[in-house]
Amino acid sequence: MSLSDLHDELQCLTNMEAPTGFEEPVLRYVQNALAGVCERVEVDVRGNVYGYQPGSDPNAPRVMITAHADEIGFLVTCLLPGGFLRFTKLGGPTDMVLPGQRVRVLGSTGPLEGVIGVKPGHILSPEAARQVPAVRDMYIDIGADSPEQATAWGVEAGTPVVFVGELTATRNTHRMFGKSVDNRAGVAAVLWAARRLSQQVLPAARAFVIVVEEEVGLRGAEVATKHVQPDVVLAIDTVPSGGTPDLRADDLPWDIGLGPLLKVRESKGLSTHGPLRRLIRSVAEKNKIPLQLIVDTAGITDATSAQQAGGQVAAAVLGLARRYSHSAVEMFDLTDLQAIIDLTCLTTAAITSKSQLMRI
């Protein structure tokens, strides 16, 4: 795997428009990709995609490697006079970045370019210019001149909307930004891990699972875990990063470019399984992969619902640090993602016995 190949696939994935509940473009892509490297691929009614690789030892743990397909976005709620669109949030886009933001409305007749309107600065008082309107007062302008024209273009209540933000490399070429890095980066990692592990004979059976509806309550992972019934879940996701001037050094004390993140605890969710966490650390140390330990991030991940849904599941999160989370310009370091893929494959190879997972 070269960084160039990884970049190309991630660019393809982030270009897809697949907000929560409308993940089909990503699901179709991963279904085809997993079919080439897995013994069996299936899809459930919720949309979760499963690719299975057998293990050599039927008594070894079953490992589920997972990431979520969906991105944050919006839903049209109604059409206004003049052809403007009211909307609500889908997942958690950051309110402060919305006014003036370019968006794409996924109308039934094809995508429509639009912008979230903003009052002219010339008529705003200094105080008003510093305030962010409530989302219920915002609107999307797609260039229509009437509700009837917007309707003819395929827009109605429930039409999904996404950010516009193509994957863009900086002068530091392995650092880049764009929309839906959360969590198309995780999807790319799962696919690359599946390709690499398909070439190895390992004790543990593997299930590579791309799930839906993470951004609205970790829903797909719960369904998927009950279906697979794994012993181990490795969830690959992105994590809000520190390292910028607007954060204290101890707000989010990890940064992009310093290696994968290993969660010790999520503030409202997962407490990473201790023996699994220690195994991951030992694998990283042995292979000289840098790790950043993190505690109490603002968000929670699919590992939380997976660990509870499965009952007897050891779960951990391997995280990709990203700046400017839940915006159209999430920045990350591609070498971190490459290291996550390496660590995922090496850890999976090191899981040989259920006794490794026992706490006492």
Give residue 193's domain range: 3-71+179-357
Helices 181-197 + 24-35 axis angle, to 10: 10
Confidence class for position 265, pLDDT limits 50, 70, 90: confident
Alpha-carbon radius of gyration of the chain:
21
What is the average per-residue pLDDT within 35-45? Answer: 97
Q: Please indicate, yes or no, whether residues 154 and 192 belong to a single structural domain of this protein.
A: no
pLDDT at 221 over 90: no
Phi then psi dihedrals of residue 136, to 5 deg: -65, -15
Identify the domain boundary among 163, 193, 212. Answer: 163
pLDDT at 325 over 70: yes
Q: Please indicate, yes or no, whether residues 288 and 319 belong to a single structural domain of this protein.
A: yes
pLDDT given for residue 298 in this prediction? 64
Q: Please indicate, yes or no, whether residues 62 and 81 belong to a single structural domain of this protein.
A: no
Give me the residues paired with residue 110 across strands. Answer: 107
Mark whether 214 is an active-site residue: yes
Q: Token pair 């699919």 is at which residue? A: 302
What is the average per-residue pLDDT within 293-321? Answer: 84
Q: Please indicate, yes or no, whether residues 90 and 200 belong to a single structural domain of this protein.
A: no
pLDDT given for residue 46 in this prediction? 94
Identify the domain boundary among 135, 163, 191. Answer: 163
Best-predicted range by mean pLDDT among 218-222, 272-276, 287-291, 298-302?
Answer: 287-291
Q: Which residue has the higher pLDDT, 297 or 301?
A: 301
Biggest alpha carbon–alpha carbon distance for the chain: 71
In the three-class reduction of DSSP (H, G, I as helix; E, B as strand; rest coil), residue 244 is classed as coil
Task: Look up the pTM and report it.
Answer: 0.95
- 8 Å CB contact between 348 and 202: yes
pLDDT given for residue 282 in this prediction? 97
Q: Is residue 349 part of a domain?
A: yes
Q: Is residue 65 part of a domain?
A: yes
What is the average per-residue pLDDT within 55-81? Answer: 97
What is the average per-residue pLDDT within 201-211? Answer: 97
Element (H, E) at 226: helix 219-228
Give me the residues paired with residue 161 across strands. Answer: 74, 105
pLDDT at 353 over 90: yes
Q: Please indicate, yes or no, whether residues 158 and 266 belong to a single structural domain of this protein.
A: no
- 8 Å CB contact between 313 and 230: yes
Q: Please indicate, yes or no, whether residues 295 and 350 belong to a single structural domain of this protein.
A: yes
Share of the chain above pLDDT 90, in %: 81
Q: Please indicate, yes or no, whether residues 151 and 189 belong to a single structural domain of this protein.
A: no
Q: Please indicate, yes or no, whether residues 149 and 206 belong to a single structural domain of this protein.
A: no
Confidence class for position 116, pLDDT limits 50, 70, 90: very high
Residue among 17, 23, 213, 214 flagged as catalytic = 214
Cα(346)–Cα(105) distance, integer angstroms: 41
Structural domains in the chain (count): 2
Residue 269: CB partners within 8 Å, gap ≥ 6? 300, 301, 303, 304
pLDDT given for residue 299 in this prediction? 74
Q: Please indicate, yes or no, whether residues 292 and 210 belong to a single structural domain of this protein.
A: yes
Share of the chain above pLDDT 70, in %: 96
In the three-class reduction of DSSP (H, G, I as helix; E, B as strand; rest coil), residue 271 is classed as strand
Closest CA to 17 of 28, 29, 25: 25
Q: Is residue 22 part of a domain?
A: yes
Q: Is residue 207 part of a domain?
A: yes
Residue 311: CB partners within 8 Å, gap ≥ 6? none
pLDDT given for residue 183 in this prediction? 93
**CATH number of the domain residue 58 falls in:** 3.40.630.10
Q: Is residue 168 part of a domain?
A: no
Q: Please indicate, yes or no, whether residues 211 and 322 belong to a single structural domain of this protein.
A: yes
Q: Please indicate, yes or no, whether residues 317 and 304 belong to a single structural domain of this protein.
A: yes
Cα 191-240-348 angle, rounded to 5 deg: 35
pLDDT given for residue 310 in this prediction? 65
The overall average pLDDT reported for the chain is 93
- 8 Å CB contact between 320 and 334: no
Confidence class for position 101, pLDDT limits 50, 70, 90: very high
Q: Is residue 172 part of a domain?
A: no
Q: Which residue has the higher pLDDT, 248 or 283?
A: 283
Q: Please indicate, yes or no, whether residues 196 and 152 belong to a single structural domain of this protein.
A: no
Alpha-carbon separation of residue 213 from 49, 95, 160, 255, 292 (angstroms): 13, 20, 14, 27, 27
Q: Is residue 169 part of a domain?
A: no
pLDDT at 271 over 70: yes
Q: Is residue 140 part of a domain?
A: yes
